[in-house]
Structure 1
Amino acid sequence: MKLFFSPGACSLSPHIALLEAGLPVELVKVDLKTKQMADGGDFTAINPKGYVPTVQLDSGEVLTEGPAIVQYIADQKPESGLAPANGTMARYRLQEWLTFINSELHKTFGALFNPTAPAETKDAAKALLAKRFEYVVSQLQGKDYLTGSQFTVADGYLFTVINWSQWVGIDLAQWPVLAAFHARVAARPAVQAALRAEGLLK
């Protein structure tokens, strides 16, 4: 399997999932501005959407969109506990979290990385993220991870997204429960390995 990634981007989430599952992966770095791969190839020939994460299976089939990719990865190694079994209420709860992180957190951060976004837009995005963070905190109270004591692909995705806070002037210390979650996930060996492989950790 190949994972097309950009360091620290949302592709960090499936990167973490792959390492947690112990699945072999070939990393292919993508420049998101030029849409070029490390070997000079045109990334849009692989994924016409032009963004990561993207995985290319050994069969040649290509899968895009983070929430779909991480569930695919989890299902390759059910014994990893990265996702509950399909058809269970626990699986739908996982999908609920993946959807929330994708639409309410991930997309809201987008404005903060847009150099052309006016200050008012960025302030509004930060205010909305603060409200969404409060919700996440309320659900994390008394738990190690989003669904309880078991680390899942939703936790890897949440970690990836809140990790961006350091680059956009948001201090997670305002939310001690969220900061503790971030530190807890960051300490996992697979997460450390993913961060190191992407040049985000020495």
Structure 2
Amino acid sequence: MKLYYSPLACSLADHIALLEAGAAFDRERVDLKTKRTETGGDFSLVTPKGYVPALVLDDGEVLTENIAILDWLATQYPALGISGNLGRTRVLEALAFISTEVHRSFKPLWHASTDIQKAKAKVTISSLLNEQSDALAGDYLFGPAPSVADFYLFVMLLWAERFEVDIPAPLLAMRDRMTRRPAVQAALLQEGLISLRERGRASSA
């Protein structure tokens, strides 16, 4: 498999999931402005959508969209999902909420917008994060172990921190727990989001 990603983009969730699963995969960074990969390739030949994530499977099939990729990973690696008759449905429900509500609400903060639009976006995101905080069923969304939905939510929490959005205390604690996980530290290091020194501090915290 090969993951095409861009640092701190939502593809970080897939990167973490692959590492958590212990999957064998390659990774290649994409410049989302030029649509060129780090090896000089044309990313539009991988997917005409032109954005990450894109996961190329061993048989050459290409998966795009975070919900689809994370669902596929949870299907292939059951430890990344939750059990029970409604397990997969509940994970999809959480992924859909994070994608269509939380993720989408960050758009004014990532792109040129007025101060009023940005302020409204922050209020909306904070409200949505409060809903997610209320949904925690323990350390993570579904209990003591994280699922692919938690990995996606973790990226949204990093974005919230970047744009100084208010984060409820339970999600701050969840973010810190997630940051200490070896797979998360490895993904952040590989994407250039933390240094080796920062990784060591996080491990000892």
- TM-score normalized by the length of structure 1: 0.92
| In the alignment, structure 1 residue 15 sits paired with structure 2 residue 19 | no
Could you say what the CA RMSD is over the residues aligned between the two structures, in angstroms? 1.3
SS in 2 for 1:3: strand
Paired residues of 1:113 and 1:168 also in contact (CA < 8 A): no
CA distance in 2, matches of 1:60, 1:138: 40
1:1-202 equivalence runs, <5 A: 1-78=1-78, 81-84=79-82, 88-114=85-111, 116-140=112-136, 143-172=138-167, 175-202=168-195
CA displacement 1:19-55 (0-9 Å, x = unmatched): 0100011111000011111111110111111100000
CA displacement 1:123-144 (0-9 Å, x = unmatched): 111111111111111112x611
CA distance in 1, matches of 2:166, 2:147: 25
Runs of 4+ in 1 over 3 A off after TM superposition: none
CA distance in 2, matches of 1:74, 1:97: 13
SS in 1 for 2:80: coil
CA distance in 2, matches of 1:88, 1:102: 23
- Structure 1 range deviating more: 61-70 or 162-171: 162-171
Paired residues of 2:91 and 2:149 also in contact (CA < 8 A): yes
Indicate the residue corresponding to 2:202 in structure 1: none
1:171 CA displacement: 4.5
- Number of corresponding residues: 195
For structure 2, which runs of at least 5 residues remain unmatched after alignment?
Answer: 196-205
1:179 maps to a residue whose letter is L
For structure 1, which runs of at least 5 residues remain unmatched after alignment?
Answer: none
CA distance in 2, matches of 1:131, 1:77: 32
SS in 1 for 2:40: coil
Paired residues of 1:21 and 1:74 also in contact (CA < 8 A): no
1:190 CA displacement: 0.6
